[in-house]
Every structure is written in C-alpha cells, then in structure tokens.
A and B are shown apart, each in its own frame.
Chain A
Amino acid sequence: MSMVDTLRELGKRDEVFPFLQQAAPSPALDTRHGPILYVEGVTKSFDGFRALDDLTLYIDDGELRCLIGPNGAGKTTLMDVLTGKTRPDTGQAWFGQRLNLLELPEHVIAQSGIGRKFQKPTVFEQLTVFENLELAMHASRGLWTSLRWRLDGEQQDRIDEVLALISLTEQAYAPAGVLSHGQKQWLEIGSLLMQNPRLLLVDEPVAGMTGQETEKTAELLTSLAGKHSVVVVEHDMDFVRSIARTVSVLHQGSVLAEGSMDEIQSDARVREVYLGE
C-alpha cells in the first residue's frame, strides 16, 4: 500500500481501528455462524517441550464439551491460551467471529464473556463468601464505579440465589479462607455463575468432592449448557460420562479423537494412549 493510501485509510471517518475496538469488546461477540470458540493450529512450546501442537478445536454456542487426556496433554495450557495468560507461538483463537483472543489482555477476555475455574480452587480468602460473589457479579469493572458501588435489591437477590445454589448461605459472611476444599470449589463455580459468562472453562471441578457433591456439580453443569457454552476438563471418568455429550481427547498437545463417550471409549488409539490398553 502506498503512503497516500495509508493516509487516506487513516482519514476515513468510519474506520474503526483495532486499538479502538479493544475498548468495547463485549457487543462484538458474534456467534451467528455457530461456533462460539475457534481454535486453529495453535502451537506453544516451553523450552523445547511442545505443550500444544497444532491444536484445532471448535466449540459450538451452548455446547457442553469435555476435554480429557493424560497429564501433559496440554489441557491446562489450552485454557491458559484461551484466557490470555499464555500467548501461543503460532495459530489462531477466536471468540465468536470477531474477538481475537490472542490479542486481548486477560481482563478484557474475561469481560467479554469467558469465565474460568482453576484446577486449584482460587478464591479470595480474606473476603467473605458474599463479597467473593459480589466482586464476580456481572457489572462494570471500572475504577470509579467500584469506588461508589452499592448493591441494589435485585443484585442482592441474585447473590442470595447463587448462595443457595452452591449451598453456602450459612457461610455467606465467613471469610472464604475457612471453607473446605469442596466448598471452595463450589464458591468458585458460584463466582463463575455470577460473572454470567458466555463460555465457561472449568478445570477439574470435582477434584476433592464427595460423591454427593460431585453429583450436584454434574447436575449444575448440565443445566448451564444451552444458555452457556461449557468446556470441562476432568480426570474423573465417571463424572465425564455422567455429563458429557461430546468429548475431545487431547494427546501430546493436539486433539486425538472427538465424539461421544461411547465412540471415544471404542477408539483404539484412545485406548492405547489414555486408557492404557
């Protein structure tokens, strides 16, 4: 492009420059074409070790997808890439049609509607359960608004609702640090719900939960699908079986197989690398 063209380009009134686009990403989410998440040819290596190797994955809007794979298959790294924590060496990752996840900072990705639950439960230990949920509530994240912020009745109700859902109503005003491991998992899921994201990335949600809790979690996650898209990473095969519609198997940084649980279980390659047969 010649210099003149560039200048002309810059002079266009209706041109929306990339750096301006980033400022208001949420309305740009466009899922008219089906998938809410496009991951194409993503590769990431750490000191020669390929954590992700030309990985391609699509998640449809409203889908519940399970990711399984042995340790080191790249599940967590993939989540890191999607949430902006890690930048891949090559490849593309789009949220809807417009949002390039590889260019946005973490908090913008979160604001635009991707929520993440970590493998190790991370809650704000010094804040109360209630405050944890309040902070996560879908609302403006601006500095000044948060300085003058006050809950209205509706929001209060919404928090109470979630508290009930995650069975922490009694502990609402206790610091999150004193919760049990399972409760922390629940609180983190509750925070995710408050965030009301379009896409939930859930890393090992039932680790350390009792059977009953696991069941309840399964119930919750299935109920979310439809309104939200959910990606679950889990080791617990029974749990996966109980919720999964589609399962993707990751191996050495790329997708080895994709399909329903039954299809996967019958896949010879999967049996070889994952089920150890």
Chain B
Amino acid sequence: MLMRQPFVMRLARLHSGFGWAVVLLLAAFALVVVPLLNQFLTPDSALYIPDWLVTLTGRFLCLALVALALDLIWGYTGILSLGHGAFFALGGYVMGMHLTHNRMEAGTIPNFIQFLGRDDWPWFWVPFQSFWFTAVMVFLVPGALALVFGFFAFRSRVRGVYFAIITQALTFASMLFFYRTETGFGGNTGLTDFRELLGFSVREADTRLVLFMLSAVAVLLSYLLCRYIVTSKLGRVLVAIRDAESRVRFTGYNPLRYKLFVWTVSAMLCGLAGALYVPQTGVINPGEMAPANSIEMAVWVALGGRGTLVGALVGAGTVNGLKTWITAAYPDLWLFVLGGLFIAVTLFLPKGVMGLREQITGRSKQ
C-alpha cells in the first residue's frame, strides 16, 4: 500500500541530476550573482546591473509566478481561467493595505476613507496593521474567493469555454467592485504612495534588491511545489481530468476535489505574486483586474508551452520583456505585436516554445 517515504527523497526525485544542476544554477544566479553585480560593481562596468533592472526583473519574476500558477490550472488540468488577474490583484491589495497603514501617520486616515464620510479605519482595514496577519491573508483572501467560486462552478460542472467566460465575469465584477470608492479600497486610484515595509523604505534600492531576491525565492519554491504536485499521482489525475473528465469520475475519483484543490493553490500562488509585485511597483489599483490583463496572462503560458512549468516561466519572461522594449521603442506597434503573438502562437505553436522541438521532430517523423 501507500509507502511512507522521507520528504527529501521525494523532493530529490523531482528532477534528474542535470535538472537539479540547472535549477540550482539559476537560483544561485538570482540570489548571489545578481546582488553582487548590483552592489559591488560601478555603473561604468559592463557587467553592472543597474537598480532599475533589478526592480524590473523582480517584477517579471512575480509575473512569472502568475504564469506558473496559471499553467498549473490550465496547462495541467485543462481549465482556462480568465480571472487570475483578480487573484493577483487581491494578493496585491492585501499587501497594499498593510503598506497603506505603514504610510499613514498614527491617527490619520487616507482620503479615500474620508470620502466614505468617516474618520477612523473601517473594521476590515484594522487587522492589516499587523504584518503577520497580512502575510497570512495574502494567501487566504485569494484562496477563499477561489474556493467559494470554484466550489460552485465545479459542482455544477461548468467547464471549458463557459468556465473561461465566467471567470472573466468574475474578474470584471471584482474590478467594478473595487472601482467604487464606497467599497473602501481607494476606488479608481487604488492604493499607492507606499513608503515602508517592516521598517525598510520600499523606495530604497537595497530594499528593492531584497524584494527581488524574495521574488526569486518565491518563484523557486513555487516552482518546486508545482513540480511536486504535477509529478505526483495527483498530477496524473489532473492530466486525466484534462483528457477525459467523465472517465476520471467513472474510475472513482471525485474531480471536484482535485480541481478545487489545484484551483485554490493556483489562486494562492497568484496572491503571493501580487503581494510581492505591489511593493516593487508602488501602486495597486483595480485596473489590474481588467479582463484584458488576465487574457494576456494566458498568452504567456500559451507562448511558453502549456503543461510545462518551465514553459510558463519562459513565456512570461519573453512577453513581458518584449512589452517593456516595444512600448518604449515603438509604442504604436505594441498591440500589433501582442495581437500577432496571440494569433501566431495558437496557429503555429500549439505547444508553445517548449514544444517546438517536439513539434519539429514530430513532423519530420511523419
């Protein structure tokens, strides 16, 4: 029957020796080399990594984390979510609320709360003064929304296209909800003007570097977690659900539980990404929940290759890198490029960049 095995053993089996070498090398690069190059080289050195690049990469890492989360649910389980922007933003808002507390002098409240006609913090703001409460909520808030929404959606067997459309409605409705000033989260402006986190100034380059490293650690750990999930039997059940859900049911598995589990994990990872993203960006507002953002997330995964965790990371990096470059260099072209990318990937790269090799060799075989 079920064999108990040491966790470390199981972990070691996630990758081949070569695989682990690559993972550790990348981790070392992000956690040791980048900080060194940033801290100890002068700007005129060719290898110097400027502060802005560190922050930019830190943000990309957060977005890569979102791609990872989306891949788990879409790539492996076959459930396309167009609402992950909502979970990302919720994580961001949770962190933003804590940062807003930090920026206000004692006894003062931000203007958007004054708009509500009150002169103290509403109850749902109060506990976010505590960092640890916030840290827990970063996972719990998106997780809870995902759990409730997922339970109802999966229970009534909404899936495929319908599920995609309903998640889109979810993020759209959340966006409208957060846009309202009456909701009490800063309305259209959102939360901004952050200053301190745990006593460190979020505007300092050094803090930014630490945030970058934290993001790298988050991506690494999340990657391992996802890898752990998808290489387990649970992962195979997920793939089975993607291929033939009713067969899974007739085999005796309850897909509801599996889907709900992976859906909630995915939402929590998004929340974490949002929470790390916000102090590096300095603002969170309902625009993050715009349906377009969530759809763009899908293209990160599609470009990289669905059903491969590395693909999701590669895709997020590529698209966001392109975006940064093109919106600066040829602003008018960006939407053409992005649109073209959507079409090209779906038509010519159904398995994404990671499937390219397979696609080529597969073709030559035939």
User: Do chains A and B directly touch (beta carbons under 8 Å) in the complex?
Assistant: yes
Closest to B257 in A: A143
Answer whether residue A134 sits at the interface, using C-beta atoms and an 8 A cutoff.
yes
B259 to A: closest C-beta gap in Å:
11
**With A and B bound together, what is the CA distance between A115 and B247 in angstroms?**
10
Number of interface residues of A (CB under 8 A): 34
- B244: chain A residues at CB < 8 Å are 122-125
Once the chains bind, are B247 and A152 in contact (CB under 8 Å)?
A: no
A230 to B: closest C-beta gap in Å:
16
* Interface residues in A13-31 (C-beta closer than 8 Å to B): none
Question: For this complex, into which size category does the number of interface residues on chain B fall?
Answer: 20 to 34
* Interface residues in B119-175 (C-beta closer than 8 Å to A): none
Which of the listed residues B240, B249, B252, B253 has the most CB atoms from chain A within 10 Å of its own CB?
B252
**With A and B bound together, what is the CA distance between A122 and B247 in angstroms?**
7
Closest to A194 in B: B251
* Interface residues in B219-236 (C-beta closer than 8 Å to A): 229, 232-234, 236
A127 to B: closest C-beta gap in Å:
6
Contact of A127 among B2, B240, B250, B252 (CB under 8 A): B240
- B252: chain A residues at CB < 8 Å are 107, 110-111, 141, 195
Once the chains bind, are A150 and B236 in contact (CB under 8 Å)?
A: no
Answer whether residue B243 sits at the interface, using C-beta atoms and an 8 A cutoff.
yes
Can you list, as one digit per residue, whether each of B244-284 has a CB less than 8 Å from chain A (1) or not (0)?
10111111111101100100000000000000000000000
Answer whether residue A258 sits at the interface, using C-beta atoms and an 8 A cutoff.
no
Contact of B234 among A111, A125, A143 (CB under 8 A): A143
Can you list, as one digit per residue, whether each of B4-16 has a CB less than 8 Å from chain A (1) or not (0)?
0100001000000
Once the chains bind, are A123 and B247 in contact (CB under 8 Å)?
A: yes
- B261: chain A residues at CB < 8 Å are 143
Once the chains bind, are B251 and A127 in contact (CB under 8 Å)?
A: no
Closest to A145 in B: B2
**With A and B bound together, what is the CA distance between A152 and B1 in angstroms?**
6
Once the chains bind, are B243 and A126 in contact (CB under 8 Å)?
A: yes
B331 to A: closest C-beta gap in Å:
41
- B3: chain A residues at CB < 8 Å are 150, 152
Answer whether residue B239 sits at the interface, using C-beta atoms and an 8 A cutoff.
yes
Closest to A105 in B: B254
Answer whether residue B237 sits at the interface, using C-beta atoms and an 8 A cutoff.
yes
B242 to A: closest C-beta gap in Å:
7
Once the chains bind, are A195 and B251 in contact (CB under 8 Å)?
A: yes
Closest to B260 in A: A143
Answer whether residue A8 sits at the interface, using C-beta atoms and an 8 A cutoff.
no
- A145: chain B residues at CB < 8 Å are 2
Once the chains bind, are B5 and A150 in contact (CB under 8 Å)?
A: yes
Which of the listed residues B10, B242, B251 has the most CB atoms from chain A within 10 Å of its own CB?
B251
Once the chains bind, are B250 and A124 in contact (CB under 8 Å)?
A: no
A229 to B: closest C-beta gap in Å:
17
- B251: chain A residues at CB < 8 Å are 107, 110, 135-136, 191, 195
- A195: chain B residues at CB < 8 Å are 251-252
A166 to B: closest C-beta gap in Å:
16
Contact A124:B239 (CB < 8 A) given known A110-B252, A118-B247, A150-B3: yes
Once the chains bind, are A134 and B254 in contact (CB under 8 Å)?
A: no
Once the chains bind, are B242 and A126 in contact (CB under 8 Å)?
A: yes
Once the chains bind, are A107 and B254 in contact (CB under 8 Å)?
A: yes
Write the residues of chain B forming the contact surface with A, with a CB cutoff of 8 angstroms. 1-3, 5, 10, 229, 232-234, 236-237, 239-240, 242-244, 246-255, 257-258, 261, 307
8 closest cross-chain pairs (CB), A and B: A110-B252, A149-B233, A111-B252, A106-B249, A124-B240, A107-B254, A146-B234, A146-B233
30 contacts between A and B (CB under 8 A): A107-B250, A107-B254, A107-B255, A110-B249, A110-B250, A110-B251, A110-B252, A111-B252, A115-B250, A118-B247, A124-B239, A124-B240, A124-B243, A124-B248, A125-B243, A125-B244, A127-B239, A127-B240, A135-B248, A135-B251, A139-B2, A141-B253, A143-B257, A145-B2, A148-B232, A149-B2, A149-B233, A150-B3, A152-B1, A195-B251
Give 6 A-B pairs besides A110-B249, A123-B243, A126-B243 with Cβ atoms closer than 8 angstroms: A124-B239, A127-B243, A131-B236, A134-B236, A140-B2, A148-B232
